[in-house]
Amino acid sequence: MLIRFRRAPIWILINLAGIGVYLRLASEIWAVPGEEGLPGGPGDPFYWFFVLLPFLFVYLTINLIALYAIIKRTRKTGNISSLFTWITVAVLWVATNTYDNHRLFRNICPVDREYFVDGVCVSSPNTLGKSDRTPE
C-alpha cells in the first residue's frame, strides 16, 4: 500500500513535466501575436507530425498503461480515488491540447481585397449576400 502512494505522485509529476515540455515544443509553431492572419511556415505540419505527435503518443501510451493498472487495482480494492486522479490528469492533457490548438490556429485569408469585409476574411466574395456588400 505504501508503494502505491509513492508511485502516484511520480506519475503525476511525469505528466505535469510532459505538459510543460509539450507546451514549450508546441510554442515553436504558434502564431506570433499580431500575425495571426499570416500563413505559417512550410515546416509547421512536419514539425507537428514528427515532433509533437510522437510526444503525445508516448504520453498516451504511458497513461493508458496507468489506466489499465488503476482499473485492475480498483476491481480488487473497490477504491476509485486513483481513477479520479487519472481522470484529472486526462482533463489536464485535453486542456493543454485545446490551448495549443487555440494558439496554433491561423486564420489564413487570401490577400485579395475582395475577400475582406470590414476587416474580416470571408471564404469567397460570392458567399456574401447583397445586403452584406457595400454600395458601389
Interval 91-104: pLDDT, tens: 999 999 999 888 87
pLDDT confidence tier of residue 1, bands split at 50, 70 and 90: very low
Put simply, whether the predicted model's pTM sits higher than 0.85 gets the answer no
Residue 69 burial by CB count (10 A; 0-12/13-18/19+): exposed, middle or buried?
A: middle
Please report where in the chains the cell 480515488 appears, as a residue: 81
Interval 46-84: pLDDT, tens: 888 999 999 999 999 999 999 999 999 999 998 898 999
Interval 114-132: pLDDT, tens: 555 655 665 555 555 544 5
Helix (H) or strand (E) holding 117: strand 116-117
Provide the grid cell at 75. Answer: 476491481
